[in-house]
Structure 1
Amino acid sequence: MKTKLGLFVLMVAFFAVVCISCGKESSEKNTSSVNTEKVKSGSKSILILSSSPRRGGNSEILCNEFKKGAEEANHTVEMININDHDIQFFENKYYERSDNPEDADDAIRIIHKMAAADVIVLSSPVYFYSMTGQMKTLIDRVFKYEKDLKSKEFYYIITATDNNEEALEGTIQGFRGFIHCLYDSREIGIVRGFGARDSGSILKKPTAVQEAYEFGKNA
C-alpha cells in the first residue's frame, strides 16, 4: 500500500513539473511574439525633403545616407527633391485653405505627405547664410496647414561651402522658426556638412556622412 502511495505521489509530482515547464515555455513564446510586434510597430513613415537644385550635390548625398540608414531599420522612406515640383510663391489666394490637390500646385500634395509622415527631414545647402528659396517657399505655403503638422519629429541636413560652422546658423534658425509654429513638433537632430564646396566633396567629411546614416538608422 505504501509502495502504491509512493508511486502515486511521484507521478503527481512528475506531471506537476511537466505542466509548469510547458507553461513557462508557452509564456516565453508569447513574450517573444509580443516583442516582435513591438519591433514591427516601431516602424515609422519618413519624408525627406531635399531642396538642392544640384542633383547629386552634397546635401542630397547626405539625404541619401539618411535614407539608407532608415531603410535598413525597416522604416518607410520617401525622398522628394522639391525642385522637381511646381511650388508657387505664397499669394493672397492661399489665405483660403484648400484640401483639394487639384485646386492648386504641387505644394498642397507635398504638405499632405508631410502631414502623413512621422518624421520629416528638411535639407538645404546654404545660400547667402540662409536656406534655398525653394525650401523657404514650401515652408511659406504651409500657412493654414500648421495644425496638420502636429507631433512631428524633424531632422535638418545642411551643407555649406564655408569652413566655419557658424555659416549654417541662419538656416538652422530658419528651420527652428518654422518648427516653433507647429504644435508639439520637435527637433531631433542636425547634420552639419560645412566646408564642402564641389559636388561630392562632402564624402571627404566622414563625420557628416556617418551622422546622416546613423540619424536615419535610429530615427
Structure 2
Amino acid sequence: MKHVLILSASPRKNGNSDILCRQFMRGAQDAGHRTELISLYDKSTEFCRACYACFTTGRCVLRDDMEEILDKMQQADVIVVATPTYFYSMNGKLKTVIDRFLPRWQNLGGHDVYLIITGHDRKEGLKLVEEELNTIFTGLGNQVKGCIWGEEVWQKGEVENTKAMDEAYQAGSHI
C-alpha cells in the first residue's frame, strides 16, 4: 500500500483539474492505496520573500500552511500535481507553492509523480506546462511517471465524459 498525496491547484471546487484529481484518487483507493487530496486554494500560502533564512534554519520565516504541505510531501510515496493552464503556464497558486519548496528542496525527491494538466487548448498547447513541471520535479530527484491531459476543456465539468477521466482512473489504479 502506498501513500498518495494529491495537490490540486484548481481554484474551482469540482473544476476540471479537481474532477481529474478525484478520479485519480478513486483509482488509487480501489487499488488499495491510502490517499489524501489537498486543495491548494484552501491553504494559506504566501509568496517567497527570497530572504534565504531557510538556508541556515531549515524553516521558512513565513508562518502559513506550507510547512504542513511540505511535511505531507516528504511522507508521501506518490505525489500527484494538478493545475489548469493560464496563458500557457501553470496557475499562480501552484507556482507560489513550488517557490516555497525552497526550505526543503533537497528532501523532496524520491517520489513517483503524476501530472494532471487541464486547459482549453489541445495537448500541444499545454506541453509547456508539462515541460516546466517535469523539469521541476525531476530536478528535485523524482520520477515523473505520467501526465493526464484534460485537453480542450474550459467550462466547469467539461472534462467529464472525456478520455482523461479513464486515463486518470487507470493511472491511479496502476501506481
Pair in the same fold by TM > 0.5:
yes
RMSD: 1.7
What are the ranges of 5 or more consecutive residues in structure 2 without an aligned counterpart?
none
After superposition, residues 95-106 of structure 1 pair within 5 angstroms as 95-97=53-55, 98=57, 104-106=63-65
The worse-fitting range, judged by mean Cα deviation, of 81-90 and 95-104 is 95-104
Rounded to whole Å, the distance in 2 between the matches of 1:70 and 1:85 is 24
Q: 1:132 aligns with which of 83, 91, 95?
A: 91
The structure showing larger relative contact order (alpha-carbon pairs under 8 Å, at least 6 residues apart) is 2
Q: Which amino acid aligns with 2:17?
A: S
Equivalent positions of 1:84-95 (< 5 A) are: 84-95=42-53
TM-score by length of structure 1 reads 0.75
Structure 1 unaligned segments of length 5 or more: list them.
1-42
Q: Which protein has the bigger strand share?
A: 2
Give the one of 29, 33, 36 matched to 1:71: 29
Q: After TM superposition, give the deviation of residue 102 of structure 1 in Å.
A: 9.4
Note closer, same or farther for the CA distance 1:100–1:145 as it changes in structure 2 (3 Å cut): closer
2:4–2:78 contact (8 Å) kept in structure 1: yes
Alignment of 1:65-214 (within 5 A): 65-97=23-55, 98=57, 104-162=63-121, 164-183=122-141, 185-205=142-162, 207-214=163-170
Which amino acid in 2 is paired with 1:118? Answer: D
Do the aligned residues in 1 keep the contact of 2:29 with 2:35 (CA within 8 Å)? yes
How many residues align structurally?
174
Whose helix fraction is larger, Structure 1's or Structure 2's?
1
Secondary structure of the residue aligned to 2:89 is coil
Contact 2:66–2:100 (CA<8 Å) still a contact in 1?
yes
* Percentage identity across paired residues of the two chains: 36
Moved over 3 A (4+): 97-103
Per the normalisation by structure 2, the TM-score is 0.93
C-alpha displacement of 1:166: 1.1
Aligned to 2:4: 46
Is the radius of gyration larger for structure 1 or structure 2? 1
CA contact (8 A) 2:17 2:82 kept: yes
Residue identity in the other structure for 1:160: G
